[in-house]
Structure 1
Amino acid sequence: MAAVLADPSRAPVAFGLRAVPQLFAELQQPESGRRQRALASLCDLMHDPERLYQTVTGGFLEQLKVLFKDEDPSVRTQTCELLHLLTAHSIGRQALLSSSLLPPLSQLLDDNSSSCRKNVLRVMNRLALLPAGAEALLTLVPKLMLKLRPEEEEEEEEEEVQVLLLSTLSRCSRLDALPALASDGVSLLGHKLSHRSPNIRREAAAAMMALSVCEDGKRQVCEEAVLPVLVDLLRDEDIEVQANAAGVIMNTVIITTGKRRCLDLGVLPVLLDRASKRKEDEEEKDEERRRRRKALVMYSLRALTSLAEAPDGRRRLLEQLPLLERRSEAAGEDQDVRRAAQTAIRVITWTP
C-alpha cells in the first residue's frame, strides 16, 4: 500500500537530518530520472527552514555545479529552481555569493531551455536584493543588456522573463550605472518604454531612472531622444510607471540640456498636474498606492524646482504659483511633500 501512495515524481526521503545528505547522494547517480526525483524532493525540503539551513551550511551547494552541465534540460532547470528557493532567504543568497557557482550559473543564461533561463534570472534577481549580490552581478550587466536587443529577443518572449531581466538590471545599476551605460543601456531601455505591458514599462522606467543619476546618464537620456516617451509616460494608466518616468525627468533636468529639452516638450503643465492632485492622494486607501503617489508627487515637485532655475521655466511657473502654494499650505499635508513644495516656491520666486 505504501508503494501505491508514494509520489513517483519524488525520491524517498530519509527521516530528520539524514534527508538532505541522502538526497544529495542521489544526485550523483547516473540515471537522469533518479536525479530529477532527488531534486524534486530537495525543492520540497527547502520550504523547511531547518533543512534549508542544513543545505547551506553543510557544504552541499558545490555539488550542484556538475548539474549545470547535465545533458537533461529538466535537471538543469530543477537545479536552478532549487537555487531559487535557497535564495528566498538571506542566508541562501550569501551562501551562493560565497560559493563558486555564480560563473557556471551565468553560462545558463544562454541555455536552450527557456524554463532554465527563466530560473537563472529568478536566482539573479534575488541575489541583486543584496548590495553584495548586485556588485557580483555587475560584470554580467553587458551580457544581460544583450538580452534586450531586438534581434536577441524571441518573437513571443515571456513577459516574466523580461520583467526579471529589467528588474535585475535596475538593481545593479542603482549600485553602479556605468556598465549599463557603456552597453548602450539608455537606447535599449528606451525601446522597452513603449511596451504594451505595464509591468515591462514600469521596470524599464525604473532602470532608466537608475541610469540617469550620473552625469553621463543624464546626457545620454537627452541624446537618445527618450524624453518625449518619458513625458508621455507621465500620463500612463499605471501610477508607478508615472512615478518612475517622473524620476528620470527629475534627474535629467538637473543639467541645462535636460531643462531645455523638457521645456520644449511642454512638460510643465503635466508635472504641475501630477504635483497638485491632492484630492486623489487623500482618497487613496491602499498603503502601497499611497507610497507610489507620494513618490510621483515628490519627483514632480523636484523636477519643477530644477526647471524653475531656467529663466523661461521660472517665468511660466510664476503664473502657476497658486497651485504650488495650495500644496504647501494645505492642512494635514505630508511633511515631505510640504517641504518639497516650499522649496519649489522659493526657487520660483527667487530674485537676484
Structure 2
Amino acid sequence: MAGRLIDPSRAPVAFGQRAVPQLFAELQRPEAGRRQRALASLCDLMHNPERIYQAVNGGFLEQLTVLIEDEDPSVRMKTCELLHMLSGHSVGRQALLSSSLLPPLSQLLDDSSSSCRRNVHRVLNRLSLLPAGAEALLTLLPKLMLKLREDEEEEEVQVLLLSSLSSCSRLDALPALSADGVSLLGHKLSHRSPNIRREAAAAMMALSVCADGKRRVCEEAVLPVLVGLLQDEDIEVQVNAAGVIMYAVIINSGKQQCLDLGVVPVLLHLVSKKEEEEEQDEERGRRRKALVMYSLRALTALAEAPAGRRLLLEQLPLLVMRSEATEEDQDIRRAAQTAVRVITWTP
C-alpha cells in the first residue's frame, strides 16, 4: 500500500476543531523550522472563515507578538503572511485593531525582507479601509511618510503605501501635511507607473480638501504637474488630478495659478469629450462621470475670477448644451447648469 504523501514544508494538521489550537501550540516550539511549518499550515487553514473565527475567539492572536520579533527572517515573513490572511476577513481586522500587534508590526516596515515588508503593507492597507483602522494608523503617518522617500521599493509596496495614506488623510489630513506630505507626494506624480501616479494623485486629493492642504498645493508647485496629468493615458489619474484642481481653485492663488497654466481649455475638452466606451463599460463610465463632474466644478470656481469668466463666456454654448441635453446624466446636467449660472452672473 502506498504511503501517504507529506509536505515537508508544512506541519501535520489535527482533525477538525483541534487543528488551530494544535498549530498555535507548535508556534511555542524553540526550533525555527517547526515554527515555520506551523505558520505555513495556519496560512492554509485561514482560507476558511471558520478557522479565522476560531483563531480570533480562541485568543491566539496575542501569541503572534513574539513571532513578529522573531530572530528568524522566515518566521517573521510567515507571521506577516498569516496576519495578511487574517486581515482579509472583517473579524480578523477587528481583532487586529483590538490587539497589541500594531506597534511591533509597524517596526517591520524596515525589515530586511522585501516579502515581509510587502505583507506588512498589505495588512496596514486592509486596516486603513476601516474608519477605526485609518484612525489607528494616524499615529504611524510620520513613519509612513518617510517610506515615501524610498524609491527603491517595488511598485506594489509603493501603491499600497499611497493607498493607505489616502485612507488616513481622508479621515484627517493634518498629520500628513505636517510631515511634508504635499512635497513628497508631488515627486510621485511624475512616476513612470500609472498605478503609482493614480494613487499619488488620490492621496494629494485627500490632502487638498482642507484649507491648509489647498494652500500647500498652491505653494509647492505641484499644480503644473497636475494640469499635465489631466491628459494622462490612465483615466483614473485624470480623475484624481481633476479632483485636486477642483479643490485648489477654490482659493484665489489656485485660481490664478491654474488660469496662468491654461487649464480652462483642457477642462473644457474633458467636459465635451464623448466616448463610446461609456455605454459598453460601466466602470469606465463611472470614472468618466467623476472626471466630468470634477472638471465642471473646477470651471465653476474659475468663473468666479474675471479672467476665467471672460474665457468661459466664449465657450458658453458648449456648457449650455450639456446643461440642457435631456439624455445627459442628471448630476452632470445640474453641475453644468450651475456653471452656466456662475459664468453668466451679473451684479
How does the TM-score come out when normalised to structure 1?
A: 0.97
Cα deviation 1:114-149 (Å, max 9, x = unaligned): 111111010000000100000000010110000112
Aligned residue for 1:299, secondary structure, equals helix
Aligned equivalent of 2:81: 81
Alpha-carbon separation, structure 1, partners of 2:288 and 2:330: 14
Aligned equivalent of 2:301: 306
- Are residue 160 (structure 1) and residue 156 (structure 2) matched? yes
Residue 225 of structure 1, aligned match among 221, 233, 238: 221
Task: Decide whether the 8 Å contact of 2:278 with 2:285 is kept in 1.
Answer: no
- Are residue 344 (structure 1) and residue 339 (structure 2) matched? yes
Task: Decide whether the 8 Å contact of 1:201 with 1:241 is kept in 2.
Answer: yes
Alpha-carbon separation, structure 2, partners of 1:58 and 1:347: 61
Equivalent AA in structure 2 for residue 153 of structure 1:
D
Q: Following TM superposition, by how much is the alpha carbon of 1:10 offset from its aligned partner in structure 2, in angstroms? A: 1.0
Gaps of 5+ in 2: none
Residue 318 of structure 2, aligned match among 323, 339, 342: 323
Equivalent AA in structure 2 for residue 11 of structure 1:
A
Aligned equivalent of 2:50: 50
Cα deviation 1:148-178 (Å, max 9, x = unaligned): 12xx433xx2100100110101110000000
Q: For residues 15 and 323 of structure 1, do their structure 2 counterparts lie closer, same or farther at Cα, with a shift above 3 Å needed?
A: same
- Are residue 122 (structure 1) and residue 122 (structure 2) matched? yes
Alpha-carbon separation, structure 1, partners of 2:2 and 2:31: 23
Alpha-carbon separation, structure 2, partners of 1:287 and 1:75: 44
How does the TM-score come out when normalised to structure 2?
A: 0.98
- Are residue 294 (structure 1) and residue 289 (structure 2) matched? yes
Q: How large is the RMSD of aligned CA atoms in angstroms?
A: 1.2
Structure 1 runs of 4+ off > 6 angstroms?
A: none
Aligned equivalent of 1:169: 165
Q: Following TM superposition, by how much is the alpha carbon of 1:331 offset from its aligned partner in structure 2, in angstroms? A: 2.5
Residue 260 of structure 1, aligned match among 256, 259, 267: 256
Aligned equivalent of 2:110: 110
Give matches, 1:9-158, under 5 Å.
9-149=9-149, 152-154=150-152, 157-158=153-154
Equivalent AA in structure 2 for residue 112 of structure 1:
S
Task: Decide whether the 8 Å contact of 1:142 with 1:180 is kept in 2.
Answer: yes
Alpha-carbon separation, structure 1, partners of 2:2 and 2:169: 53
Aligned equivalent of 1:236: 232
Alpha-carbon separation, structure 2, partners of 1:306 and 1:240: 22
Bigger mean CA deviation after superposition, 332-341 or 200-209: 332-341
Q: Following TM superposition, by how much is the alpha carbon of 1:8 offset from its aligned partner in structure 2, in angstroms? A: 1.1
Task: Decide whether the 8 Å contact of 2:246 with 2:295 is kept in 1.
Answer: yes
Alpha-carbon separation, structure 2, partners of 1:3 and 1:341: 74
Equivalent AA in structure 1 for residue 264 of structure 2:
L
Equivalent AA in structure 2 for residue 115 of structure 1:
S
Alpha-carbon separation, structure 1, partners of 2:234 and 2:158: 18
* Corresponding residue pairs, total: 347
Task: Decide whether the 8 Å contact of 1:281 with 1:290 is kept in 2.
Answer: no
Percent sequence identity is 84
Q: For residues 323 and 211 of structure 1, do their structure 2 counterparts lie closer, same or farther at Cα, with a shift above 3 Å needed?
A: same
Alpha-carbon separation, structure 1, partners of 2:309 and 2:27: 68
Aligned equivalent of 1:249: 245
Equivalent AA in structure 2 for residue 263 of structure 1:
L
Aligned residue for 1:39, secondary structure, equals helix
Aligned equivalent of 1:7: 7
